[in-house]
Amino acid sequence: MKLTVIGTGYVGLVTGACFAEMGNNVVCVDSDTSKIEALRKGVMPIYEPGLEDIVVNNMKERRLGFATSLADPSTEAAVYFIAVGTPPGEDGSADLRHVLDVARELGKRINDYAVIVDKSTVPVGTAERVEATVREALRARGAEVPFDVVSNPEFLKEGAAVEDFMRPDRIIIGTNSERAQELMRELYSAFMRTHERVLFMGVRDAEMTKYAANAMLATKISFMNEIANLCDRLGVDVESVRRGIGSDARIGYGFIYPGCGYGGSCFPKDVDALIHTAKQATFETKVLHAVQATNAAQKRVLFAKIIRRFGGSLNGRAFGVWGLAFKPGTDDMREAPSVVLMEDLIAAGARVKAYDPVAMATARRQLPASWFNDGLLELVEHPYDALVDVDAMILVTEWKPFRNPDFGRMKRLMKTPVIFDGRNQYEPDALQAAGFEYVGIGRTNPLGAAATGTSSR
């Protein structure tokens, strides 16, 4: 099938490359000329495991191409995927300018029946606005071309986006058109060799499903972080609690790992957008407001623990930070807890040494130049370089190489053997036995003793 994907960010590039991998002819369009030139040379604009190989291989097979404009004849297609950014506005609403700009351009270009797919995460009612925009552009040129607008939200995890696309647990398609439904079923048939994964529903239902899914996951994270903070005050080990409730099939283990808050381009933005949508419908989303507030506070929990340990002023102290990306498997630092932590540390007078396996270039681009120029932040080439003469190590992102480090070497390098574990990755009793002072999230009671001091083992 001939496909065109507009936008080459996480969603657009993964969508285009994976459809090409399944035998379709795909052109990805982006107005950023430098990005397109780089992609044609096989240089990826993002870090995503497995993506580069798929892009390069499908370019070689001539199933995947790139263009800078829909005016390029190569972009004519049966299905157009809109996968441009929807950044949050000041009021938390999703900015749909880029989506509607693409719709307007498609209205100027299409000559035969086409399916226009909203792949970007967009508020309920966006498909209707896209349809109206396309029709307006068609009327302006005096053309009558049949088309359908479909909602097909993505459910890709950064760091596992290729795997998620190639082996989806569900494919949500919102359409009221039988013609569009059959075309989309045919397109996704290659992904359903073992069992049916497509769920058809109304367009507005599909739009809401995407927001509800991300809001639910964000809610689970914030709930567990709140439980962890309570555990800190009650002398309870949240790891035992996590295993206890996760074993309940109604709850499960997914997204109940306490930590220093969630970040990225999806959860914060989508929770904000859903709150804004509810406000427009004169409905107060009390739970989502609490999720939002809890996460904002959680990003400062590690700093609060550091202040309690070292005092209000951190002048003259140095801290080693392991992990800058908002999660493992990506170089994305949008809304990352590491940024909030470093802001607080530097404001309190501390110096920071930081390391991340893949997000170093992102950090150099996005973090304040003054931090580097004034010697407040040093990005080091090796994780152990971040520990030389520091007062404590702070784990922020749970990358696999950080799971089983050389603790003996760490202790020799550090000025003070203190570890603040923002992801509860380490076993407190083992670190304490090795001579470290350990501070986790809700792990004040690692041996399982009750608040009264009696043992539960």
Say which of 18, 28, 231, 266 is annotated catalytic.
266
d(C-alpha 377, C-alpha 320), whole Å: 10
Q: Token pair for residue 2?
A: 């001939």
Sheet of strand 25-29, all strands in order from the earlier edge strand to the far edge:
64-67, 25-29, 2-6, 79-82, 114-118, 147-151, 171-174, 198-201
Q: Is residue 118 within a helix (H) or strand (E), and if so which, with residue range?
A: strand 114-118
Contacts 24+ apart (CB under 8 A), 108-112: 108/137, 108/140, 108/141, 109/70, 109/71, 109/75, 109/76, 110/80, 110/134, 110/138, 110/145, 110/147, 111/76, 111/143, 111/145, 112/145
Q: Kindly state the helix (H) or strand (E) to which residue 444 belongs, with its residue range.
A: none
Nearest 5°: CA angle at 321, between 407 and 433? 25
Say how many residues make up the chain.
457
Question: Tokens 């304490």 appear where?
Answer: 432
Alpha helices in 32-125 (DSSP H): 33-40, 51-60, 97-109
Q: Phi first, then psi: give them for residue 393, nearest 5 degrees.
A: -105, 140
**Is the Cβ–Cβ distance between 133 and 99 less than 8 Å?**
no
- CA dihedral of 166, 168, 172, 177, whole degrees rounded to 10: 40
Q: Is position 28 annotated as part of the catalytic site?
A: no
CB contact set of 42 (below 8 Å; sequence gap of 6+): 52, 55, 56, 59
- From the CB of residue 385, how many other CB atoms can be counted at a distance below 10 Å? 14
Output phi, psi for 82, to 5 deg.
-90, 115
Pairing status of strand 418-421 against strand 437-439: parallel
Decide: residue 34, CB within 10 A, 0-12 exposed, 13-18 middle, 19+ buried.
Answer: exposed
Comparing CA positions, the residue from 333, 344, 334 lying closest to residue 300 is 344
Is there a contact between 440 and 275 (Cβ–Cβ < 8 Å)? no
Task: List residues with catalytic annotation.
Answer: 266
